[in-house]
Amino acid sequence: MESIGEVIDKKGSIKHLWKVIDPENKYRYETCIKEWYRLTLIEQRRMYLYLLYKKWRGEPFYGTPYDIITNCHPYPTNWNGRPLINRLMKETKMVKARYNGSSDTGIYTLDEARVWQMTDIEPRN
């Protein structure tokens, strides 16, 4: 599995996002380029991971890709206790970490822990 750094580098990253939010190419990504590249690389990586995992869980996206990019407020997924955690642990590295100064730890992908700059990171698998 590719790391988030390999998938989302500044150049051409909208193509990877498009595969997640509009795989059937109903919309032209040229309409969103300006908004997407206004985001910092960290913001792009956070949004990509958030939307990728949302799709993976079978949760729908609302609005056009432009709406998604401009209105999305991504946050990491604490996979602890979620039904898909066992499958995810087989596919990617998982860690125990603290998000945003929380006193509680959660289970996150290593990519999430890195892009959200979590603390107290410990390997899980």
Same domain membership, residue 105 and residue 54: no
Q: Does residue 15 belong to any structural domain of this protein? A: yes
Write the pLDDT tens digit of every residue in 1-53.
556 665 566 566 888 899 999 999 999 888 898 999 899 989 999 999 999 99
Give pLDDT tens digits for 64-91: 999 999 999 999 999 999 888 888 889 8
**Assigned domain for 107 exists:** yes
| Residues 19 and 50 grouped into a single domain | yes
What is the torsional sign of CA 48, 50, 51, 52? positive
How many structural domains does the chain have?
2
Within a domain: 104: yes
What confidence score (pLDDT) does residue 55 get?
94
Q: Are residues 9 and 59 in the same domain?
A: yes
Q: Where are the alpha helices (DSSP H) in the chain?
A: 4-7, 13-21, 33-38, 41-56, 65-71, 85-91, 110-115
64 with 90, same domain: the answer is: no
Q: Residue 39 belongs to what domain range? A: 4-71
